[in-house]
Amino acid sequence: LDLLNLSAGYVFLHDVRGRLLLVNPAAAQALGMPAMALVGRSLADFQPRRSRQDFDAYLTRLRRNGQDEGVLLMRAADGSHRHWRYSSRLTTPTDGRAHVVGNAVDVTAQVRETRELHEQSVRDALTGSYNRRKLEAFESAQRDAGWGVVNIDLDHFKQVNDRQGHDQGDQVLIE
């Protein structure tokens, strides 16, 4: 019991429908409610509406495979959204009442960083315009639709950089 209470990771038990049976203090704090107030509530109550189908798919995978791992978007009582990387396992004790043992950690910062890195990989750092990588993905998605690209070349742009400096040249590109 001390291990459960002292763990910084989120530890929870829920039934096969997602109704919480037990949460440790870290999980209760992350959800923004006392542990006892969480017992009997569905974990789906802490999912943004747009992510409820993800939770249903999670329960389906648990019933089918007996275990599941992944990331779920959770909504705390204060309305903030956090990404939990979880690992859950379906357990059937001798009394036959199946339940799920799960643990999770908050990976919101990593998810945000991954999105930012992806965005940086498809946008020009100076102008914010999409680059060739985004164009290639767009082209793949638009195979059946007509589309075009406008390419702009600034004649004698090197002279702006040479005469007025690279900072001014950057400003011209941004404008």
User: Over pLDDT 90: what percentage of the chain?
Assistant: 55
N- to C-terminal Cα separation, the chain:
62
pLDDT at 173: 79
Separation CA 88–CA 79 (nearest Å):
24
pLDDT tens, residue by residue, 41-67: 999 999 998 888 999 999 999 999 999
Q: Which region holds residue 125: left if phi is over 0, alpha if psi is between -120 and 50, else beta?
A: alpha
Separation CA 10–CA 101 (nearest Å):
11
pLDDT at 143: 74
What pLDDT tens digit does each residue of the chain (175 aa) get? 677 777 889 999 999 999 999 999 999 999 999 999 999 999 999 999 888 899 999 999 999 999 999 999 999 989 999 999 999 999 987 777 899 999 999 999 999 999 999 888 888 888 888 877 777 777 777 777 777 777 777 888 888 888 888 888 888 877 7
pLDDT at 1: 63
- Among 171, 158, 13, 8, smallest CA distance to 99 is for 13
Separation CA 91–CA 101 (nearest Å):
7
Q: Which pTM value belongs to this model? A: 0.71
CA 68 and chain centroid, separation: 17
